[in-house]
Structure 1
Amino acid sequence: MKRFHLNLKVSDLEKSRTYYAKLFGEQPAVVKPDYIKWMLDDPYINFSIEPASDQTGIAHVGLQAENLEELETAYQRVQDAAGPRFEEGATTCCYASSEKNWTSDPDGLIWEVFHTDGQVTHYGKPPQLKQSEASVSCC
């Protein structure tokens, strides 16, 4: 089963951490100075927050595959949706090693489709997307 992913840009990371920990009834799974993530089972979501450099709100949404077979099915759906897409492939972002593709819906909402295969000790880097394709801020 794919896990829904939501990444928010927030004005105050620590205040948001406290708020969401109380809202979800549990502490985050990952806490870094520039990134916090909850891996919730109810609701089944990968919910992350990070500091906003300018605008707060939804940075991107996504689908996190549990295995590579599920990821391939999700990649096919991204292709079938026929929106702009960026095939990032293997990458390190958000303190994780992942395989990713990106797209955007007709209104420009950024979608990430990915599978994470391990954690790393550094944030990583945002994808270098072409201007003609989806414009996205990683994690």
Structure 2
Amino acid sequence: MSRIQLALNVDDLDASILFYSKLFGVDPAKRKPGYANFAVDEPPLKLVLIENPGHGGTINHLGVQVDSSERVHSEIARLTAAEMFTEEEIGTTCCFATQDKVWVTAPDHEKWEIYAVLADSETFGDTPRLTDKNPGGSTAPSCCATS
């Protein structure tokens, strides 16, 4: 099953977890220091909360979670054929998971990833490297994104 991902910067992770647990009626699927994610069935949503004091209320990045690495590779081919610039990360560790992913940037600089989770990880992953301005006016880096 594919689902849209919305990654939000939050000032207070505990307060945000409480709010979104009540809003969607589910507990976090994963919780680590400074990080939580929810796998919401209805509507199909992967909600990611990244503790980023001073940038709360802004979008960190957007994405589409797909069910396999093969699907990521087919999306890479499709996006390349559509003449879109892509940044690929194969076998990367990000957001406490090993993933295959591809990034694209929208005209207004929103960062979108299409990704498949391959396995859980005990580490957050690479230090975020994306330093250009993100949606919502935040200059906070996006999660594990390439520059």
Give the TM interval when normalised to the shorter protein: 0.7 to 0.9
Deviation string, structure 1 residues 82-125 (Cα, Å, up to 9, x no partner): 44432222200111010111111111100011111110111111
What SS does the corresponding residue of 1:31 show, helix, strand or coil? strand
What SS does the corresponding residue of 2:100 show, helix, strand or coil? strand
Q: How does 1:81-100 map to 2 (within 5 A)?
A: 81-100=82-101
TM-score by length of 1: 0.85
**Shift in Å, 1:2:** 1.9
25-34 or 67-76: which moved more? 67-76
Is 1:113 paired with 2:118?
no
51-60 or 100-109: which moved more? 51-60
What SS does the corresponding residue of 1:97 show, helix, strand or coil? strand
Letter of the 2:120 partner, please give it: Q
C-alpha distance in 1, partners of 2:54/2:86? 25
Deviation string, structure 1 residues 21-49 (Cα, Å, up to 9, x no partner): 00000111101121000011111111110
Match of 1:5 in 2: 5
Aligned residues: 136
C-alpha distance in 1, partners of 2:78/2:62? 15
TM-score by length of 2: 0.81
* Higher strand fraction (1 or 2): 1
**Shift in Å, 1:73:** 2.6
What SS does the corresponding residue of 1:107 show, helix, strand or coil? coil
C-alpha distance in 2, partners of 1:61/1:2? 14
C-alpha distance in 1, partners of 2:128/2:92? 8
C-alpha distance in 2, partners of 1:11/1:80? 40
Match of 1:38 in 2: 38
- Structure 2: which 5+ residue stretches go unaligned? 133-138
C-alpha change, 1:49 and 1:129, in structure 2 (3 Å) is: closer
Alignment root-mean-square deviation, CA:
2.3
- Structure 1: which 5+ residue stretches go unaligned? none
Q: How does 1:37-76 map to 2 (within 5 A)?
A: 37-56=37-56, 57-76=58-77
Letter of the 2:55 partner, please give it: Q
C-alpha change, 1:58 and 1:129, in structure 2 (3 Å) is: closer
